[in-house]
A = this chain, B = another copy of it.
Amino acid sequence: MNQSKRYLDIVKEIRDMIRQEKIRPGDRIPSERELAEKLQVGRSTLREALRSLELLGLIETRRGEGTFLSDHRNHKLVEVLSTFILQDNQSRKDVWETRLMHEISAIQSICQNKALAELRIWDSFKKRLEGESFQRADFVRELMVLSGNRLSLKIWFLLHQYSGSPYSHEVSEDEKDLMLPILDALENQQEEKAIHAFKSWSEWIEKRRMLNGDNS
């Protein structure tokens, strides 16, 4: 009945064991030799299960130290899948649009978060904008973080990396004029305005990129 695929059973057993013994992310799980003994399987078979879990990012192994349950809040979902998703020559446009989608969604989320509005964090952004070292990517990433959706943040980060990085440069003076309205709108929780300003900024960047040269 349960013919073959022993390593799949092992995956399950390991999962159950982790639950029962209340192993928390970061904790060590028993050594390969112990597990093999406990589950009555050969070490190589056990390793097949472990390597699979590792590729999924569920566990983490360090030679000489042991095997650890990784923090699945940082699920590797995206990394693993991105190799499949992004492998074919997906049009640049899709990546750009999708990234923008995540960014705008983050802005919406931020505007609707009342607790966030009371923190008055936007002033500090404005100050940093005045200062010298302020990268576009940093600004947007912080927005993504503020949105509170970690999965969206991860996807965004990948798309950001993938799409070259027209984002990773210092902001120019012209650009600051485009960014200030975004901060103003965010400060006052004006969702529509913030999105509009953000789109303007994004399109401005995209246009400039097209002019400068399309480094793939």
Given the contacts A63-B4, A152-B97, A81 and B75 also touching, CB distance less than 8 Å: yes
Given the contacts A48-B48, A72-B85, A90 and B56 also touching, CB distance less than 8 Å: no
Contact residues on A (Cβ < 8 Å of other chain), bracket: 35 or more
Complex interface: stretch among A98-106, A120-128, A205-213:
A98-106
Q: Which chain A residues in 35-65 approach chain B with CB under 8 Å?
A: 44, 47-49, 51-52, 54-56, 58, 63
A15 & B83 in contact (Cβ 8 Å cutoff): yes
B52 & A72 in contact (Cβ 8 Å cutoff): no
- State which of B73, B84, B149 has its C-beta within 8 Å of the C-beta of A72: B84
Q: Which chain A residues in 1-27 approach chain B with CB under 8 Å?
A: 4, 7-8, 11, 15
CA distance A80 to B7 in the complex (A): 13
CA distance A152 to B152 in the complex (A): 12
- State which of B98, B151, B158 has its C-beta within 8 Å of the C-beta of A149: B98
- Cβ of A215 within 8 Å of any chain B Cβ, yes or no, is no
- State which of B75, B88, B149 has its C-beta within 8 Å of the C-beta of A85: B75
CA distance A129 to B68 in the complex (A): 49
**Per-residue CB proximity of A70-98 to B under 8 Å, as 1/0?**
00110101001101111010110011011
CB distance from A36 to the nearest CB of B (A): 13
Given the contacts A55-B11, A55-B52, A98-B149, A73 and B90 also touching, CB distance less than 8 Å: yes
CA distance A90 to B153 in the complex (A): 12
- Cβ of A176 within 8 Å of any chain B Cβ, yes or no, is no
Residues of B within 8 A of A49 (CB): 51
Closest 7 CB pairs of A and B: A94-B151, A52-B55, A48-B51, A101-B105, A44-B44, A52-B52, A72-B85
A contact residues vs B (CB 8 Å cutoff): 4, 7-8, 11, 15, 44, 47-49, 51-52, 54-56, 58, 63, 72-73, 75, 77, 80-81, 83-86, 88, 90-91, 94-95, 97-98, 101-102, 105, 149-152, 154-155, 158, 162
